[in-house]
Structure 1
Protein backbone atom coordinates (compact mmCIF):
# COMPACT_ATOMS: atom_id res chain seq x y z
CA UNK A 1 0.00 0.00 0.00
CA UNK A 2 1.31 3.41 -0.92
CA UNK A 3 0.12 6.70 0.54
CA UNK A 4 2.69 8.77 -1.33
CA UNK A 5 1.89 12.47 -0.90
CA UNK A 6 -1.37 11.75 0.91
CA UNK A 7 -2.05 14.05 3.87
CA UNK A 8 -3.20 12.23 7.01
CA UNK A 9 -4.38 13.63 10.35
CA UNK A 10 -4.05 11.23 13.28
CA UNK A 11 -5.47 12.25 16.65
CA UNK A 12 -4.18 10.62 19.80
CA UNK A 13 -0.89 10.19 17.99
CA UNK A 14 1.36 10.48 21.03
CA UNK A 15 1.14 6.79 21.97
CA UNK A 16 -0.56 3.45 21.39
CA UNK A 17 -2.64 2.88 18.27
CA UNK A 18 -2.33 6.50 17.14
CA UNK A 19 1.45 6.51 17.32
CA UNK A 20 1.75 3.18 15.49
CA UNK A 21 -0.68 4.39 12.83
CA UNK A 22 1.18 7.65 12.25
CA UNK A 23 4.49 5.83 11.87
CA UNK A 24 3.08 3.31 9.38
CA UNK A 25 1.45 6.05 7.27
CA UNK A 26 4.76 7.92 7.18
CA UNK A 27 6.59 4.75 6.14
CA UNK A 28 4.18 4.48 3.20
CA UNK A 29 4.98 8.01 2.03
CA UNK A 30 2.20 10.00 3.68
CA UNK A 31 2.54 13.50 5.08
CA UNK A 32 1.30 13.14 8.64
CA UNK A 33 -0.14 15.62 11.11
CA UNK A 34 0.42 14.27 14.62
CA UNK A 35 -2.20 15.49 17.11
CA UNK A 36 -2.02 15.01 20.87
CA UNK A 37 -1.77 16.74 24.21
CA UNK A 38 1.67 15.53 25.29
CA UNK A 39 4.37 17.49 23.45
CA UNK A 40 7.22 15.27 24.61
CA UNK A 41 5.52 12.07 23.49
CA UNK A 42 4.58 13.64 20.15
CA UNK A 43 8.21 14.64 19.62
CA UNK A 44 9.30 11.04 20.22
CA UNK A 45 6.79 9.72 17.68
CA UNK A 46 7.79 12.42 15.20
CA UNK A 47 11.34 11.06 15.11
CA UNK A 48 9.95 7.95 13.38
CA UNK A 49 7.74 9.87 10.91
CA UNK A 50 10.19 11.74 8.71
CA UNK A 51 9.08 15.36 8.69
CA UNK A 52 5.60 15.40 10.22
CA UNK A 53 3.52 18.31 11.45
CA UNK A 54 3.23 18.29 15.24
CA UNK A 55 0.05 19.84 16.64
CA UNK A 56 -0.28 19.98 20.41
CA UNK A 57 -3.99 20.31 21.03
CA UNK A 58 -6.93 19.35 23.21
CA UNK A 59 -9.48 17.91 20.81
CA UNK A 60 -12.33 18.59 23.24
CA UNK A 61 -11.86 22.33 22.66
CA UNK A 62 -13.51 23.62 19.49
CA UNK A 63 -10.84 26.29 18.95
CA UNK A 64 -8.14 23.60 19.06
CA UNK A 65 -10.09 21.46 16.59
CA UNK A 66 -10.24 24.40 14.18
CA UNK A 67 -6.50 24.97 14.65
CA UNK A 68 -5.78 21.32 13.78
CA UNK A 69 -7.52 21.67 10.42
CA UNK A 70 -6.13 25.14 9.69
CA UNK A 71 -2.53 24.18 10.52
CA UNK A 72 -2.73 21.02 8.42
CA UNK A 73 -4.04 22.97 5.42
CA UNK A 74 -1.47 25.71 5.89
CA UNK A 75 1.40 23.23 6.00
CA UNK A 76 0.26 20.58 3.51
CA UNK A 77 -2.40 22.29 1.42
CA UNK A 78 -5.01 19.53 1.62
CA UNK A 79 -6.46 16.70 3.72
CA UNK A 80 -6.86 13.17 2.35
CA UNK A 81 -7.46 11.04 5.45
CA UNK A 82 -8.71 11.74 8.97
CA UNK A 83 -8.11 9.14 11.68
CA UNK A 84 -10.22 9.95 14.74
CA UNK A 85 -8.30 7.84 17.23
CA UNK A 86 -8.02 9.89 20.43
CA UNK A 87 -9.92 8.46 23.36
CA UNK A 88 -9.96 7.96 27.11
CA UNK A 89 -11.41 5.35 29.43
CA UNK A 90 -12.82 5.50 32.95
CA UNK A 91 -15.04 3.32 35.07
CA UNK A 92 -18.54 4.55 35.79
CA UNK A 93 -21.81 3.52 37.41
CA UNK A 94 -25.09 5.37 37.06
CA UNK A 95 -25.47 5.33 40.87
CA UNK A 96 -22.14 7.09 41.44
CA UNK A 97 -22.27 10.65 42.76
CA UNK A 98 -19.95 12.03 40.06
CA UNK A 99 -21.17 9.93 37.15
CA UNK A 100 -22.46 12.88 35.11
CA UNK A 101 -19.02 14.49 35.08
CA UNK A 102 -17.51 11.19 33.90
CA UNK A 103 -20.09 10.90 31.11
CA UNK A 104 -19.47 14.49 30.05
CA UNK A 105 -15.70 13.96 29.89
CA UNK A 106 -15.80 10.65 28.04
CA UNK A 107 -18.53 11.64 25.58
CA UNK A 108 -16.70 14.89 24.86
CA UNK A 109 -13.39 13.14 24.16
CA UNK A 110 -14.51 9.88 22.56
CA UNK A 111 -17.53 11.06 20.56
CA UNK A 112 -18.06 14.81 20.28
CA UNK A 113 -14.46 15.55 19.28
CA UNK A 114 -14.75 13.12 16.36
CA UNK A 115 -17.98 14.80 15.28
CA UNK A 116 -16.38 18.26 15.39
CA UNK A 117 -13.23 17.24 13.53
CA UNK A 118 -15.24 15.34 10.93
CA UNK A 119 -17.45 18.39 10.37
CA UNK A 120 -14.41 20.63 9.92
CA UNK A 121 -12.37 18.21 7.79
CA UNK A 122 -15.15 16.79 5.59
CA UNK A 123 -15.33 19.65 3.05
CA UNK A 124 -11.61 19.27 2.39
CA UNK A 125 -11.78 15.46 2.23
CA UNK A 126 -14.59 15.79 -0.32
CA UNK A 127 -12.19 17.75 -2.51
CA UNK A 128 -9.58 14.99 -2.41
CA UNK A 129 -12.07 12.09 -2.49
CA UNK A 130 -10.37 10.83 0.65
CA UNK A 131 -11.78 8.94 3.62
CA UNK A 132 -12.27 8.90 7.37
CA UNK A 133 -11.42 6.10 9.80
CA UNK A 134 -12.82 6.24 13.33
CA UNK A 135 -11.35 4.13 16.13
CA UNK A 136 -14.00 2.67 18.39
CA UNK A 137 -13.98 -0.54 20.45
CA UNK A 138 -15.77 -3.84 20.92
CA UNK A 139 -17.35 -1.86 23.77
CA UNK A 140 -19.51 -0.32 21.06
CA UNK A 141 -21.01 -3.77 20.44
CA UNK A 142 -21.18 -5.28 23.91
CA UNK A 143 -21.22 -4.03 27.47
CA UNK A 144 -18.10 -4.03 29.62
CA UNK A 145 -19.03 -4.03 33.32
CA UNK A 146 -18.39 -0.73 35.12
CA UNK A 147 -17.60 1.09 31.85
CA UNK A 148 -21.08 2.27 30.85
CA UNK A 149 -19.95 5.76 29.81
CA UNK A 150 -17.14 4.37 27.63
CA UNK A 151 -19.47 1.83 26.01
CA UNK A 152 -22.08 4.50 25.35
CA UNK A 153 -19.55 6.79 23.67
CA UNK A 154 -18.18 4.00 21.48
CA UNK A 155 -21.64 2.84 20.43
CA UNK A 156 -22.40 6.44 19.50
CA UNK A 157 -19.21 6.66 17.44
CA UNK A 158 -20.17 3.48 15.57
CA UNK A 159 -23.59 4.85 14.64
CA UNK A 160 -22.19 8.28 13.81
CA UNK A 161 -19.83 6.54 11.39
CA UNK A 162 -22.72 4.87 9.59
CA UNK A 163 -24.70 8.12 9.43
CA UNK A 164 -21.82 10.14 7.99
CA UNK A 165 -20.86 7.34 5.59
CA UNK A 166 -24.33 7.60 4.10
CA UNK A 167 -24.17 11.40 3.95
CA UNK A 168 -20.75 11.55 2.30
CA UNK A 169 -21.06 8.59 -0.09
CA UNK A 170 -22.56 10.74 -2.89
CA UNK A 171 -19.40 12.87 -2.73
CA UNK A 172 -17.18 9.79 -3.09
CA UNK A 173 -15.95 9.86 0.51
CA UNK A 174 -15.77 6.64 2.54
CA UNK A 175 -16.21 6.53 6.34
CA UNK A 176 -15.49 3.42 8.42
CA UNK A 177 -14.92 2.45 12.02
CA UNK A 178 -12.47 -0.03 13.55
CA UNK A 179 -13.52 -1.85 16.73
CA UNK A 180 -10.49 -3.30 18.54
CA UNK A 181 -10.64 -5.60 21.51
CA UNK A 182 -7.89 -5.36 24.15
CA UNK A 183 -4.78 -3.62 22.81
CA UNK A 184 -1.58 -3.16 24.85
CA UNK A 185 -1.49 0.63 25.18
CA UNK A 186 -1.18 3.10 28.03
CA UNK A 187 -4.92 3.93 28.11
CA UNK A 188 -5.42 2.26 31.52
CA UNK A 189 -2.43 4.00 33.07
CA UNK A 190 -3.60 7.28 31.57
CA UNK A 191 -6.85 6.88 33.48
CA UNK A 192 -4.88 6.94 36.75
CA UNK A 193 -3.99 3.28 37.30
CA UNK A 194 -0.52 2.09 38.25
CA UNK A 195 1.51 -0.09 35.89
CA UNK A 196 0.81 -3.07 38.13
CA UNK A 197 -2.93 -2.41 37.97
CA UNK A 198 -2.74 -1.99 34.20
CA UNK A 199 -0.84 -5.26 33.76
CA UNK A 200 -3.38 -7.08 35.93
CA UNK A 201 -6.24 -5.63 33.90
CA UNK A 202 -4.67 -6.79 30.63
CA UNK A 203 -4.14 -10.25 32.11
CA UNK A 204 -7.86 -10.44 32.92
CA UNK A 205 -8.79 -9.22 29.44
CA UNK A 206 -6.57 -11.86 27.85
CA UNK A 207 -8.68 -14.59 29.44
CA UNK A 208 -11.80 -13.05 27.87
CA UNK A 209 -10.53 -13.52 24.31
CA UNK A 210 -10.95 -16.74 22.33
CA UNK A 211 -7.32 -16.58 21.16
CA UNK A 212 -6.00 -15.80 24.67
CA UNK A 213 -3.94 -12.84 23.51
CA UNK A 214 -3.76 -9.06 23.60
CA UNK A 215 -3.14 -7.18 20.36
CA UNK A 216 -0.22 -4.84 19.79
CA UNK A 217 -0.93 -1.32 18.46
CA UNK A 218 0.77 -2.12 15.15
CA UNK A 219 -1.82 -4.81 14.37
CA UNK A 220 -4.63 -2.26 14.54
CA UNK A 221 -2.54 0.25 12.60
CA UNK A 222 -2.13 -2.27 9.78
CA UNK A 223 -5.91 -2.62 9.57
CA UNK A 224 -6.41 1.15 9.61
CA UNK A 225 -4.05 1.55 6.66
CA UNK A 226 -5.83 -1.19 4.75
CA UNK A 227 -9.23 0.41 5.33
CA UNK A 228 -7.87 3.83 4.34
CA UNK A 229 -6.27 2.48 1.16
CA UNK A 230 -7.67 1.95 -2.32
CA UNK A 231 -7.73 -1.78 -1.57
CA UNK A 232 -10.87 -1.02 0.45
CA UNK A 233 -12.56 1.23 -2.08
CA UNK A 234 -15.83 -0.72 -1.79
CA UNK A 235 -15.96 -0.52 2.01
CA UNK A 236 -17.91 2.28 3.67
CA UNK A 237 -20.15 2.47 6.73
CA UNK A 238 -18.56 -0.71 8.04
CA UNK A 239 -17.69 -1.59 11.62
CA UNK A 240 -14.63 -3.84 11.45
CA UNK A 241 -13.85 -5.87 14.56
CA UNK A 242 -10.30 -6.94 15.47
CA UNK A 243 -10.60 -8.47 18.93
CA UNK A 244 -8.84 -11.85 19.11
CA UNK A 245 -12.30 -13.42 19.38
CA UNK A 246 -13.46 -11.44 22.41
CA UNK A 247 -16.93 -11.09 20.87
CA UNK A 248 -17.20 -14.88 20.69
CA UNK A 249 -16.91 -15.50 24.41
CA UNK A 250 -19.87 -15.03 26.77
Structure 2
Protein backbone atom coordinates (compact mmCIF):
# COMPACT_ATOMS: atom_id res chain seq x y z
CA UNK A 1 0.00 0.00 0.00
CA UNK A 2 1.26 3.42 -0.88
CA UNK A 3 0.20 6.59 0.87
CA UNK A 4 2.51 8.91 -1.01
CA UNK A 5 1.16 12.48 -1.05
CA UNK A 6 -1.44 11.58 1.60
CA UNK A 7 -1.82 13.56 4.83
CA UNK A 8 -2.77 11.67 7.97
CA UNK A 9 -3.71 12.75 11.50
CA UNK A 10 -3.22 10.16 14.24
CA UNK A 11 -4.53 11.12 17.67
CA UNK A 12 -3.08 9.29 20.64
CA UNK A 13 0.07 9.12 18.55
CA UNK A 14 2.60 9.29 21.37
CA UNK A 15 2.56 5.58 22.24
CA UNK A 16 0.94 2.21 21.67
CA UNK A 17 -1.33 1.69 18.67
CA UNK A 18 -1.18 5.35 17.67
CA UNK A 19 2.61 5.51 17.55
CA UNK A 20 2.85 2.28 15.54
CA UNK A 21 0.13 3.44 13.14
CA UNK A 22 1.90 6.76 12.55
CA UNK A 23 5.15 4.91 11.82
CA UNK A 24 3.42 2.56 9.37
CA UNK A 25 1.80 5.44 7.49
CA UNK A 26 5.14 7.26 7.28
CA UNK A 27 6.86 4.13 5.97
CA UNK A 28 4.27 4.05 3.18
CA UNK A 29 5.05 7.64 2.20
CA UNK A 30 2.42 9.65 4.10
CA UNK A 31 2.88 12.99 5.78
CA UNK A 32 1.81 12.43 9.38
CA UNK A 33 0.59 14.69 12.18
CA UNK A 34 0.95 12.97 15.54
CA UNK A 35 -1.22 14.20 18.40
CA UNK A 36 -0.81 13.57 22.10
CA UNK A 37 -0.50 15.11 25.55
CA UNK A 38 3.01 13.93 26.44
CA UNK A 39 5.60 16.12 24.76
CA UNK A 40 8.59 13.86 25.40
CA UNK A 41 6.80 10.77 24.07
CA UNK A 42 5.67 12.66 20.97
CA UNK A 43 9.24 13.73 20.29
CA UNK A 44 10.40 10.14 20.69
CA UNK A 45 7.90 8.94 18.08
CA UNK A 46 8.83 11.85 15.81
CA UNK A 47 12.50 10.86 16.02
CA UNK A 48 11.63 7.31 14.96
CA UNK A 49 9.63 8.62 12.01
CA UNK A 50 12.46 10.97 11.02
CA UNK A 51 14.80 7.99 10.73
CA UNK A 52 12.73 6.70 7.82
CA UNK A 53 12.97 10.00 5.98
CA UNK A 54 9.76 11.76 7.00
CA UNK A 55 9.37 14.79 9.23
CA UNK A 56 6.10 14.54 11.16
CA UNK A 57 4.12 17.41 12.57
CA UNK A 58 3.99 17.25 16.35
CA UNK A 59 0.78 18.58 17.89
CA UNK A 60 0.60 18.59 21.66
CA UNK A 61 -3.11 18.68 22.47
CA UNK A 62 -5.70 17.32 24.87
CA UNK A 63 -8.56 16.06 22.69
CA UNK A 64 -11.07 16.59 25.49
CA UNK A 65 -10.60 20.37 25.15
CA UNK A 66 -12.40 21.94 22.19
CA UNK A 67 -9.92 24.78 21.68
CA UNK A 68 -7.02 22.34 21.48
CA UNK A 69 -8.93 20.07 19.09
CA UNK A 70 -9.38 23.01 16.73
CA UNK A 71 -5.61 23.47 16.57
CA UNK A 72 -5.18 19.86 15.40
CA UNK A 73 -7.04 20.45 12.14
CA UNK A 74 -5.82 24.02 11.71
CA UNK A 75 -2.13 23.22 12.21
CA UNK A 76 -2.24 20.14 9.99
CA UNK A 77 -3.88 21.87 7.05
CA UNK A 78 -1.60 24.90 7.40
CA UNK A 79 1.46 22.63 7.39
CA UNK A 80 0.52 20.15 4.66
CA UNK A 81 -2.22 21.94 2.73
CA UNK A 82 -4.90 19.26 3.08
CA UNK A 83 -6.16 16.26 5.05
CA UNK A 84 -6.78 12.79 3.60
CA UNK A 85 -7.08 10.46 6.59
CA UNK A 86 -8.18 10.92 10.19
CA UNK A 87 -7.34 8.21 12.72
CA UNK A 88 -9.30 8.81 15.93
CA UNK A 89 -7.15 6.69 18.20
CA UNK A 90 -6.89 8.77 21.39
CA UNK A 91 -8.70 7.41 24.41
CA UNK A 92 -8.45 6.58 28.07
CA UNK A 93 -9.85 3.94 30.37
CA UNK A 94 -11.03 4.48 33.93
CA UNK A 95 -12.71 2.10 36.33
CA UNK A 96 -15.76 3.10 38.36
CA UNK A 97 -18.79 1.07 39.41
CA UNK A 98 -22.23 2.60 38.95
CA UNK A 99 -22.60 2.75 42.76
CA UNK A 100 -19.31 4.61 43.29
CA UNK A 101 -19.52 8.21 44.50
CA UNK A 102 -17.20 9.39 41.73
CA UNK A 103 -19.02 7.52 38.95
CA UNK A 104 -20.39 10.65 37.22
CA UNK A 105 -17.01 12.37 37.45
CA UNK A 106 -15.32 9.36 35.84
CA UNK A 107 -18.09 9.13 33.24
CA UNK A 108 -17.57 12.76 32.20
CA UNK A 109 -13.81 12.33 31.94
CA UNK A 110 -14.03 9.16 29.86
CA UNK A 111 -16.86 10.25 27.55
CA UNK A 112 -15.35 13.69 26.93
CA UNK A 113 -12.10 12.06 25.80
CA UNK A 114 -13.33 8.90 24.09
CA UNK A 115 -16.53 10.09 22.44
CA UNK A 116 -17.25 13.82 22.49
CA UNK A 117 -13.75 14.67 21.27
CA UNK A 118 -14.32 12.45 18.23
CA UNK A 119 -17.59 14.26 17.47
CA UNK A 120 -15.74 17.57 17.52
CA UNK A 121 -12.64 16.44 15.63
CA UNK A 122 -14.59 14.61 12.94
CA UNK A 123 -16.92 17.56 12.47
CA UNK A 124 -13.96 19.87 11.94
CA UNK A 125 -12.20 17.40 9.64
CA UNK A 126 -15.17 16.62 7.38
CA UNK A 127 -14.86 19.63 5.03
CA UNK A 128 -11.24 18.68 4.34
CA UNK A 129 -11.99 14.96 3.97
CA UNK A 130 -14.76 15.72 1.48
CA UNK A 131 -12.28 17.66 -0.67
CA UNK A 132 -9.88 14.70 -0.76
CA UNK A 133 -12.51 11.89 -0.71
CA UNK A 134 -10.79 10.79 2.45
CA UNK A 135 -11.28 8.27 5.22
CA UNK A 136 -11.84 8.25 8.95
CA UNK A 137 -10.94 5.30 11.17
CA UNK A 138 -12.04 5.01 14.79
CA UNK A 139 -10.81 2.64 17.47
CA UNK A 140 -13.26 0.84 19.76
CA UNK A 141 -12.97 -1.79 22.50
CA UNK A 142 -15.19 -2.11 25.58
CA UNK A 143 -14.25 -4.52 28.38
CA UNK A 144 -16.87 -5.55 30.91
CA UNK A 145 -16.76 -3.90 34.30
CA UNK A 146 -16.04 -0.44 32.93
CA UNK A 147 -19.44 1.14 32.44
CA UNK A 148 -18.35 4.63 31.37
CA UNK A 149 -15.75 3.23 28.98
CA UNK A 150 -18.29 0.80 27.52
CA UNK A 151 -20.83 3.55 26.97
CA UNK A 152 -18.23 5.70 25.20
CA UNK A 153 -17.35 2.87 22.83
CA UNK A 154 -20.97 1.88 22.17
CA UNK A 155 -21.64 5.51 21.29
CA UNK A 156 -18.57 5.53 19.06
CA UNK A 157 -19.78 2.48 17.15
CA UNK A 158 -23.18 4.07 16.52
CA UNK A 159 -21.61 7.39 15.56
CA UNK A 160 -19.47 5.61 12.98
CA UNK A 161 -22.46 3.97 11.32
CA UNK A 162 -24.42 7.22 11.15
CA UNK A 163 -21.39 9.12 9.85
CA UNK A 164 -20.70 6.43 7.25
CA UNK A 165 -24.24 6.76 5.88
CA UNK A 166 -24.19 10.56 5.86
CA UNK A 167 -20.76 10.86 4.28
CA UNK A 168 -20.96 8.04 1.72
CA UNK A 169 -22.60 10.28 -0.93
CA UNK A 170 -19.71 12.69 -0.45
CA UNK A 171 -17.09 10.00 -1.04
CA UNK A 172 -15.85 9.81 2.55
CA UNK A 173 -15.55 6.42 4.26
CA UNK A 174 -15.82 5.75 8.02
CA UNK A 175 -14.81 2.48 9.68
CA UNK A 176 -14.08 1.16 13.16
CA UNK A 177 -11.38 -1.18 14.43
CA UNK A 178 -12.21 -2.94 17.72
CA UNK A 179 -8.82 -4.38 18.63
CA UNK A 180 -9.52 -6.13 21.91
CA UNK A 181 -6.51 -6.48 24.20
CA UNK A 182 -3.37 -5.06 22.60
CA UNK A 183 0.01 -5.07 24.28
CA UNK A 184 0.59 -1.38 24.97
CA UNK A 185 1.52 0.71 28.04
CA UNK A 186 -2.20 1.13 28.86
CA UNK A 187 -2.02 -0.52 32.28
CA UNK A 188 0.91 1.63 33.36
CA UNK A 189 -0.64 4.78 31.89
CA UNK A 190 -3.97 4.32 33.65
CA UNK A 191 -2.84 2.71 36.88
CA UNK A 192 -4.84 -0.49 36.35
CA UNK A 193 -3.65 -3.38 38.49
CA UNK A 194 -3.54 -6.10 35.82
CA UNK A 195 -1.08 -8.00 33.67
CA UNK A 196 -1.12 -9.50 30.20
CA UNK A 197 -1.08 -13.09 31.47
CA UNK A 198 -4.45 -12.44 33.11
CA UNK A 199 -5.82 -10.75 30.01
CA UNK A 200 -4.83 -13.62 27.71
CA UNK A 201 -7.16 -15.95 29.60
CA UNK A 202 -10.10 -13.63 28.88
CA UNK A 203 -9.76 -13.91 25.10
CA UNK A 204 -11.28 -16.57 22.85
CA UNK A 205 -7.98 -17.29 21.08
CA UNK A 206 -5.86 -16.91 24.23
CA UNK A 207 -3.78 -14.21 22.59
CA UNK A 208 -2.91 -10.57 23.13
CA UNK A 209 -2.49 -8.64 19.89
CA UNK A 210 0.58 -6.63 18.96
CA UNK A 211 0.28 -3.04 17.74
CA UNK A 212 1.62 -3.87 14.28
CA UNK A 213 -1.43 -6.01 13.52
CA UNK A 214 -3.85 -3.22 14.40
CA UNK A 215 -1.83 -0.65 12.47
CA UNK A 216 -1.91 -2.88 9.38
CA UNK A 217 -5.70 -3.09 9.61
CA UNK A 218 -6.02 0.68 9.97
CA UNK A 219 -3.81 1.22 6.91
CA UNK A 220 -5.81 -1.30 4.90
CA UNK A 221 -9.11 0.41 5.74
CA UNK A 222 -7.64 3.80 4.83
CA UNK A 223 -6.25 2.55 1.52
CA UNK A 224 -7.76 2.21 -1.95
CA UNK A 225 -7.81 -1.56 -1.39
CA UNK A 226 -10.80 -0.93 0.91
CA UNK A 227 -12.49 1.65 -1.31
CA UNK A 228 -15.85 -0.17 -1.08
CA UNK A 229 -15.75 -0.61 2.70
CA UNK A 230 -17.56 1.83 4.97
CA UNK A 231 -19.65 1.58 8.13
CA UNK A 232 -17.81 -1.58 9.17
CA UNK A 233 -16.52 -2.62 12.60
CA UNK A 234 -13.56 -4.99 12.52
CA UNK A 235 -13.31 -7.00 15.73
CA UNK A 236 -9.81 -8.30 16.27
CA UNK A 237 -10.05 -10.31 19.50
CA UNK A 238 -13.22 -11.67 21.10
CA UNK A 239 -13.50 -11.72 24.88
CA UNK A 240 -15.00 -14.78 26.51
- TM-score normalised by L of structure 2: 0.96
1:158 aligns with 2:157: yes
Question: Which stretch shifts more, 204-213 or 166-175?
Answer: 204-213
Counterpart CA distance in 1 for 2:216 and 2:171 is: 23
Unmatched segments (≥5 aa) in structure 2: none
1:211 aligns with 2:211: no
**What is the alpha-carbon root mean square deviation over aligned residues?**
1.0
Counterpart CA distance in 2 for 1:91 and 1:107 is: 13
Unmatched segments (≥5 aa) in structure 1: none
Counterpart CA distance in 2 for 1:51 and 1:69 is: 18
What is the aligned counterpart of 2:83 among 55, 79, 84?
Answer: 79
Counterpart CA distance in 1 for 2:32 and 2:76 is: 9
Counterpart CA distance in 2 for 1:64 and 1:108 is: 13
Check whether the contact 1:176–1:236 (CA below 8 A) recurs between aligned residues: yes
Counterpart CA distance in 2 for 1:238 and 1:212 is: 25
Partner of 2:233: 239
Partner of 1:114: 118
Partner of 2:102: 98
Runs of 4+ in 1 over 2 A off after TM superposition: none
Partner of 2:130: 126
Counterpart CA distance in 1 for 2:187 and 2:151 is: 18
1:149 aligns with 2:153: no
Counterpart CA distance in 2 for 1:232 and 1:125 is: 16
Counterpart CA distance in 2 for 1:29 and 1:126 is: 21
Check whether the contact 1:12–1:86 (CA below 8 A) recurs between aligned residues: yes
Partner of 1:191: 190
1:20 aligns with 2:20: yes
**Cα displacement string for residues 164-190 of structure 1 (whole angstroms, at most 9, x for unaligned residues):** 111100100000010011001112211
Question: Which stretch shifts more, 43-52 or 221-230?
Answer: 43-52
**Cα displacement string for residues 92-117 of structure 1 (whole angstroms, at most 9, x for unaligned residues):** 11100000000000000000111100
1:8 aligns with 2:12: no
Counterpart CA distance in 2 for 1:241 and 1:212 is: 15
**Cα displacement string for residues 19-76 of structure 1 (whole angstroms, at most 9, x for unaligned residues):** 0000000000000000000010001101122200000011111111110100001100
1:51 aligns with 2:55: yes
Check whether the contact 1:176–1:238 (CA below 8 A) recurs between aligned residues: yes
1:169 aligns with 2:168: yes
Report the CA distance between 1:192 and its aligned residue.
Answer: 2.1
Report the CA distance between 1:208 and its aligned residue.
Answer: 1.4
Check whether the contact 1:189–1:198 (CA below 8 A) recurs between aligned residues: no
- TM-score normalised by L of structure 1: 0.92
Check whether the contact 1:89–1:188 (CA below 8 A) recurs between aligned residues: no
Aligned residues: 236
Partner of 2:69: 65
> 3-state SS of the aligned residue for 2:48?
coil
